[in-house]
Structure 1
Amino acid sequence: MDTLVEAANATAKVPLHPYSPLNAVLPEYVTNTLSSRTLVGSFVVGSIAIFAVTLLFINSAPRKLSKGEVFVTLWFALCYYVANFADLSSRLSLFAQLWKEYALSDSRYLTQDSFLVPMEAITAILWGPMSFFCAWSIVKQHPLRHPIQLIISVGQLYGDVLYFATCYFNEVVHNIVYCRPEQFYFYMYYVFCNAIWIVIPSVLVVQSVVATKRAFAKVQAAESMKKAL
């Protein structure tokens, strides 16, 4: 009897949460104080602020960038972010609440998932700083622009494919669903937001491969002309 009481008390101390699966362990979970609309609005305003600062840097450049170069520069300026998953579910900072809002489509972001933690660590340590360097190299026409762009884009593409694959694997094999049943969270948060990191990196990979091919073709043509002389 005492054991049953202790078990009931222990269960009662586990905070309830709106995430899937319902038995996911979220230590000291605290409900968001900001509404979904406010959080999305804050993200949009923050993105606009990043774009504005980046555009000031672009406009200060001695040369005029093409529309494509401006877009890619803005993309890499936005790509940098740092996430701390250790106690995210119990925090109420703006960024923590943004991640908790997104986690309605994938609760792994709040559960110390063995795939997401190292993946996001790589993003913070490697892709983040490299993205800022890539944005700078586009404006400055640095020769490392396309090698860096290719490395980052392949890394983003590979990480996103694994992200989708591991979630699908757990759902099919282990019958674990990380997204709430509402279609909005699945299609808008999970599918749409992550599809961006499939489409844009894929385009940039092709762009860098083509640019690299052209560069090597010019070098080979110049070497052939020298030999002919």
Structure 2
Amino acid sequence: MHLIFEGSFLYLSTFGKSVNTSTGVFAEMWKEYTLADTRWGVADPTVVSLEILTVLGGVPLCWYILSLLVKNDPARHYWIVVLSVAELYGGWMTFCPEWLTGSPSLNTSNALFLWVYLVFMNSIWVVIPLWLMVDSYNHIAGSLRAAAKIKGN
């Protein structure tokens, strides 16, 4: 997701100057999303900055976590928490400034844009990281409790 979809946004917003002035399949996909949030069409500096972190930081971290998962290395849980916090922070920094200024770039007058594009599609980036953090917490805490129990015996 980060590499292909958000990477395409980043490419269009830096080399193509903006989604709105670009052409192609990914430009059309992002143009559709800009109907709900216009910042994505004009290469808003805050959004582009967050996507630089997501693509250049999040993508390598995702690949690293996948390699740990393949090896069944429990250290993956630490990195899952790190990535999940980054996802939550990125979502917060994408939308909180917009909410604080009265949401001038968000089109909430259309049910599709509000409930599908803005709420559903962005909730995925909240629900999944929270779920992964709870799962990793259970693994980390369970391991520490088991180690403490062995040490105490």
Query: Which TM-score band (shorter chain)?
Result: 0.7 to 0.9
SS class of match (1:115):
helix
**What's 1:29 paired with?**
none
TM-score (norm 1): 0.58
Q: Bigger CA drift: 141-150 or 107-116?
A: 107-116
Task: State the one-letter code of the partner of 1:102.
Answer: Y
Aligned pairs for 1:146-165 (under 5 A) are 146-165=77-96
Q: Distance in 2 between matches of 1:189 and 1:101?
A: 9
- Aligned-pair identity in percent equals 26
Partner-residue secondary structure (3-state), 2:113: helix
Give the aligned partner of residue 205 of structure 1: 133
8 Å contact kept, 1:157–1:197: yes
Structure-2 residue corresponding to 1:193: 121
In structure 2, how many angstroms separate the alpha carbons of the residues matched to 1:195 and 1:169? 19
What stretches of structure 2 of length at least 5 have no aligned partner?
A: none
Letter in 1 for 2:41: L
Write the deviation string for residues 63-90 of structure 1: whole angstroms up to 9, x where unpaired.
Answer: xxxxxxxxxxxxxxx4444123132222
Of 59, 72, 93, the residue aligned with 1:128 is 59
Q: Who is 1:179 aligned against?
A: 107
Say if 1:217 and 1:180 are closer, same or farther in 2 by CA, change over 3 A: closer
**Relative to structure 1, is the Cα distance of residues 133 and 183 closer, same or farther in structure 2, using a 3 angstrom cutoff?**
same
Over aligned residues, Cα RMSD in angstroms? 1.8
Instruction: Give matches, 1:1-229, under 5 Å.
Output: 78-81=1-4, 82=7, 83-84=10-11, 85-86=13-14, 87=17, 88-171=19-102, 176-179=104-107, 181-225=109-153
Normalised TM-score (structure 2): 0.84
Write the deviation string for residues 45-78 of structure 1: whole angstroms up to 9, x where unpaired: xxxxxxxxxxxxxxxxxxxxxxxxxxxxxxxxx4
Give, in whole Å, the separation in 1 of the partners of 2:114 and 2:27. Answer: 20
Amino acid paired to 2:32: E
Q: Could you tell me whether the CA contact under 8 Å between 2:38 and 2:105 is conserved in 1?
A: no
Structure 1 stretches of 4+ moved >4 Å: none
- Who wins on radius of gyration, i.e. which is larger? 1
Unpaired stretches in structure 1, ≥5 consecutive residues: 1-77
1:3-26 Cα offsets, whole Å, 9 max, x none, are: xxxxxxxxxxxxxxxxxxxxxxxx
